[in-house]
Each structure stands twice: as C-alpha cells, then as structure tokens.
Amino acid sequence: MAAAALDAGADYVNDVTAFRSDPGLAGLVAERGVDCCLMHMLGTPRTMQRDPRYDDVVSEVKAFLEARLAYAVGEGVAEERVMLDPGIGFGKTVEHNLELIRRLDEIVAIGRPVVFGVSRKSFLGKLTGREVGDRAVATAAANVLALERGASIFRVHDVPETVDALTVAAATLTDRWPATSPRTTTTTT
C-alpha cells in the first residue's frame, strides 16, 4: 500500500508501528528517499489500550524510538529523513500521556524532529470532561506545552486555533516578533 501511495505522488510515510509490522517498508523508504515518521505504540491497535504498563514510560518510549531509528538507518533510511512520534494515546494511560508531555524534551534529545499528535485525543476528554468536537482548547494547551519542550511538527484537526496558540507561544518563547510562523510545521490529518 505504501508503494502505491508513493507511486501516486506521496512523499512521506507515516508508520505507527515504526517498521515493525512491515520491515520491508524501511527499505522502500530508503529506496524512494522519502521522509518518514516512526511512532511508538505498545502492542497493536487492537491490544494497545489493554492495561498498558511501563516502569518508566518516557525512558521506555525513548529507548524504543532510538532503537527504531537505528533500525531505519541500518536499512538505508537517511537519518535526516526520520521524524519521531512518542505516540500519545497509543498504548498509554492518561498518566502516561501527561508524563510524556511533561518530559518530552527527553524524546527531543534524540536529535530528530518530534511529531506531536494529541488533537482531540480521549485523554483530553478524560481530563476536561469535553466531547471530541469540543477539545480544541485542550489540544492547543497540550501543543503549546509540547512546543516549549521542543516538538516541531503538530498533527491537528483544529488548525486555526492551533496556529494561533503556537504563534503566541513561539513569539513568547523566542522573544521575537513576528515569531517564526508555526504554519510550516502544522499539518492536518
């Protein structure tokens, strides 16, 4: 399926299994010279939320992403083509997600761009009591915290709200006006 998408003009491969479910995908990414995102997920989509447990969620996610980055590079993927996603909400409890956000700088320290995807996630609903469509403010708050900790790519549904929040945060954090626009790093899914 990824090959067909690339043949049709796609230039980015997002793999929620970080090349675990299809190890040949790394070779395809390397061969085509496209960007990729490797995400952490505990288990599979069907099992990931069945009592997820970690001794230290951040250390374990970081070690996983470092190992998958090494695998990708070992398969010929150019390191500068790899982005990393800690997989907020994928095999994690509310507490795990909050700890990942709190210590996101440890994931950023790996040295690759960090993709942050919390848009409308269920843990935000558990925290705020809001339904899926009413989580734009909670999403923006989490994105601002992630930006402050070094995330640089944001997956969102509510683009204008996120752009505004990240613009204000970037201007404050960089002490420059106008701040570099986060518009270049904000994408929709």
Q: What is the pLDDT of residues 38-90, one digit of tens each?
A: 999 987 778 777 888 999 999 999 999 999 999 999 999 999 999 999 999 99
How many CB atoms are located within 10 Å of the residue 92 CB? 25
Same structural domain, 15 and 86:
yes
Separation of alpha carbons 125 and 94, rounded Å? 10
Q: Which tokens hold the place of 57? A: 């969620």
Same structural domain, 98 and 167:
no
Cis ω on the peptide bond leading into residue 160 (within 30° of 0)? no
The pLDDT of residue 183 is 46
Give the active site residue among 68, 92, 121, 135: 121
* Residue 88 DSSP label: T
* Among 80, 113, 146, residue at a domain's last position: 113
Q: Note if 20 is an active site residue.
A: no
Beta bridge partner(s), residue 114: 84
Q: Which tokens hold the place of 70? A: 């090494």
CA 97 to each of CA 16, 94, 152: distance values in angstroms, whole numbers, following the listed order? 16, 5, 18
Q: Is the pLDDT of residue 181 over 90?
A: no
Same structural domain, 43 and 91:
yes
Contact 114, 155 (CB under 8 A): no
The pLDDT of residue 185 is 44
Confidence of residue 176 (pLDDT cuts 50, 70, 90): low
Q: Which tokens hold the place of 32? A: 């085509």
Same structural domain, 109 and 138:
no
* Among 113, 147, 167, residue at a domain's last position: 113
Q: Is the pLDDT of residue 167 over 50?
A: yes
Number of domains in the chain: 2
Q: Note if 155 is an active site residue.
A: yes
Would you list the DSSP string of 114-164? BEE--TT-HHHHHHH---GGG-HHHHHHHHHHHHHTT--EEEES-HHHHHH
Q: pLDDT digits over 101-155, tens only?
A: 999 999 999 999 999 999 999 999 999 999 999 999 999 999 999 999 999 999 9
Q: Please state the rounded mean pLDDT for residues 23-34.
A: 95
Same structural domain, 7 and 98:
yes
Same structural domain, 122 and 73:
no
* Residue 23 DSSP label: T
Same structural domain, 3 and 74:
yes
- Domain limits at 181? 117-189
Mean pLDDT check: name the lowest of 81-85, 158-162, 178-182, 185-189.
Answer: 185-189
